[in-house]
Amino acid sequence: MTQERPSQICIVTVTGVDKVGIVAKLATVMARANINIVDINQKILEDTFVMTMAVDIAGAKIGMDKIKASLDAVGSQMALKITIQDENIFKAMHRV
Amino acid sequence: MRISVEEVYETVRMTLDHHFDIRTVTLGINLKDCIDRDLAAMVQRVRDRIVQKGQLLNRCADRIVYKYGIPITNRRIAITPASLLLEPLPHTKATVVRFAKALDAATRKADIDFLGGFGAMVQKGTTAAEENLIEAIPEALSKTQRICGFLNLASTHAGMNMNAIARMGHILRDLAFRSDNGVGCAKIAVFANVPEDNPFMAGAHHGIGEPDYSLNIGISGPGVVRNVVAKNPDCDLTQLSEVIKRTVFKITRAGELIGREMAGLMGVPFGIVDISLAPTTSTGDSVAEIIEAMGVGQIGSPGSTAALALLIDAVKKGGAMASGNVGGLSGTFIPVSEDEGMIRAVRAGTLSLEKLEALTSVCSVGLDMFAVPGDTEPEVISAIIADELAIGVANHKTTSVRIIPAPGRKAGDILHFGGLLGSAPVMKVPGTSAARFILRRGRMPAPISSLRN
């Protein structure tokens, strides 16, 4: 029996123009940091490509500040806006 | 149920495109236990506490910003009213100024942008120590950078301290003439019914009914509200109120979550969320533009007061549903210099001082960040203050005045303060002097509506 580790879910949001390699690049960042990808969704909203990726950072080897810096680097490379936020902020704002 | 892409996108757009932020996290600190008959001993204790707690506030705020991705724009400290701390010390200006400088140095060392509470509660009368503090305000605030002052000059229960109000005209003019463009006056607000837990500057202080520490949050999102109003150009006003309520509910919940978590990290009690909509000079982050998006041609035109009343009511209802700890000012700020739409309206001649005063009767928080000609008589400044505070006293609400007498400037000139303070068109002060009324002094009795027991 393995003991279940508590999870800490964050939502990575990508907005901009869809292109080849977005998931691949993000997956590489996550794998390097030992972050598990839990779920991926994408849609076109108000003519903008929006992708959300739920990730579990409980086992991450680096802090939120470093994760954010890696995502910012991918964002500027691919001309996308990428944010990462703890899931609880969305639950607080969108669930009564 | 996992959060949907639409919900995530709505939140992300609020911060990326519509300036949603936590405007301030303000730590209230009780300093009553630092009081001493020896100024040096008191300063030492006060300094240690401010530096230690201020640095902790900054560290925790940084962690929360990374975790939730919502900017925390300002980190501030509010203290026990300074007049109480100065009671047992010699009643000299030098004492007051030395204390202000020590607070300023501690605030700078902690890397906190403003410290509030340099003031007094004098709504009914003034002690010798309080009078000494008031007389020293021009020197104390002009020789410090990060200290903000407040004075409660009136309340519904006590009436209006017209002796202090008459004196303030001179004090504010003196302070204005010691700084470029009179900007020193941006650091002091005078109140009726001041709240003890307001996190916003310049009027923040840690009231005497507060615990040792209290972490208060000021959220803000005029840009977010303006966006939803603009997206609903044709719905009726009942529906518009509903749309605003829902939006404010969401941003208040974000504030509540962040406030609770900040307080937990710091090991201090969580105080209140102040749901005031506070504009900034960034394009689109304007309360005036919300009113205009509702369909009023320009703020100041007929219809503005009704539209603002609808807005503030919807903000309060949405906020109260979202948090059991709504407090502070929780109104809608309409500072002239910090809101692009307000500046435009004054320059166009649509918004006058009289209409600005009318607007403050339905929202909060009073006449804020507006400039008047430098040759405005002290008694006229006092009369402007008295009018505004009377609105608060008679209506059981907080009102305040933050007035900038602009040295050497006349109506129509523009003052550029820069940064958060924006720029202020100098407004015309109508009519003739009310000096005879102001110089009667005394105390205006509390209104009959204060007799509720």
Whether A8 and chain B come into contact, CB under 8 Å, resolves to no
Pairing of strands B21-29, A48-56: unpaired
**How many residues in total does chain A contain?**
96
Q: Which pLDDT belongs to residue B227? A: 94
CB contact under 8 A, A64 and B67: yes
Burial letters B136-171, b for 16+ CB under 10 A, else e = bbbbbbbebebbbbbbbbbbbebbbbbbbbbbbbbb
Q: Please report whether residue B336 resides in a domain.
A: yes
In the block, residue with structure tokens 């809101």: B339
Whether A13 and chain B come into contact, CB under 8 Å, resolves to yes
CA distance B321 to B325: 10
CB contact under 8 A, B5 and A52: yes
Distance from the A3 Cα atom to the nearest Cα atom in chain B, whole angstroms: 24
Its domain, for residue B157, covers: 27-192
CA distance B280 to B20: 11
Q: Please report whether residue B21 resides in a domain.
A: no
Distance from the B13 Cα atom to the nearest Cα atom in chain A, whole angstroms: 10
For the beta carbon of residue B90, count every other beta carbon within 10 angstroms: 12
Report the interhelical angle of B287-294 vs B304-322 (nearest 10°). 110
Q: Does one domain contain both B152 and B231?
A: no
Q: Does one domain contain both B254 and B395?
A: yes
Number of domains in chain B: 2
Q: Which pLDDT belongs to residue A46? A: 85
CB contact under 8 A, B69 and A94: no
Distance from the A90 Cα atom to the nearest Cα atom in chain B, whole angstroms: 7
Q: Please report whether residue B211 resides in a domain.
A: no
Cβ neighbours for B257, distance < 8 A, ≥ 6 positions apart? A88, A89, A92, B68
Q: Does one domain contain both B234 and B134?
A: no
Do B408 and B179 meet the contact criterion of CB atoms below 8 Å apart?
Answer: no
Strands in B211-281 per DSSP E = 213-220, 270-274
The 3-state DSSP composition of chain B as helix, strand, coil percent (nearest 5) reads 50, 20, 35
Q: Does one domain contain both B263 and B372?
A: yes
Residues of A in contact with B68 (CB under 8 A): 85-86, 88-89
**How many residues in total does chain B contain?**
453
Q: Does one domain contain both B244 and B128?
A: no
Helix, strand or coil for residue B300? coil
CB contact under 8 A, A83 and B251: no
- Residues of chain A where predicted confidence (pLDDT) is lower than 50: none
Q: Which pLDDT belongs to residue B365? A: 82
Q: Which pLDDT belongs to residue A27? A: 95
Distance from the B418 Cα atom to the nearest Cα atom in chain A, whole angstroms: 29
Q: Please report whether residue B19 resides in a domain.
A: no
DSSP B115: E
The two tokens of residue A41 are 């969704």
CATH number of the structural domain spanning residue B50? 3.20.70.20
Residues of B in contact with A14 (CB under 8 A): none
Cβ neighbours for B166, distance < 8 A, ≥ 6 positions apart? B379, B382, B438, B439, B441
Residues of A in contact with B256 (CB under 8 A): 92
Q: Which pLDDT belongs to residue B45? A: 98
In chain B (453 residues long), the average pLDDT of successive 10-residue segments reads: 88 89 96 98 98 98 95 96 98 98 98 97 98 98 97 98 98 96 95 96 96 95 94 96 96 95 97 93 91 97 97 96 94 93 97 97 90 96 98 96 96 91 94 94 96 90
CB contact under 8 A, B9 and A15: yes
Residues of B in contact with A69 (CB under 8 A): none
Q: Does one domain contain both B141 and B273?
A: no
Q: Does one domain contain both B270 and B405?
A: yes
Do B323 and B253 meet the contact criterion of CB atoms below 8 Å apart?
Answer: yes
| Shortest CA distance from A67: residue in chain B | B66
ipTM of the complex: 0.92
CB contact under 8 A, A92 and B253: yes
Q: In terms of CATH architecture, what is A9-94?
A: 2-Layer Sandwich (3.30)
Q: Does one domain contain both B324 and B387?
A: yes
Do B359 and B304 meet the contact criterion of CB atoms below 8 Å apart?
Answer: yes
Q: Please report whether residue B134 resides in a domain.
A: yes
Q: Does one domain contain both B112 and B251?
A: no
Q: Which pLDDT belongs to residue B432? A: 86
Distance from the A74 Cα atom to the nearest Cα atom in chain B, whole angstroms: 17
Q: Which pLDDT belongs to residue B16? A: 86
DSSP B409: -
CA distance B300 to B298: 6
Q: Does one domain contain both B140 and B270?
A: no
Nearest CB to B3 within list A11, A50, A64? A11
Whether A43 and chain B come into contact, CB under 8 Å, resolves to yes
Q: Does one domain contain both B258 and B161?
A: no
> pTM for the complete prediction?
0.94
Q: Does one domain contain both B175 and B249?
A: no
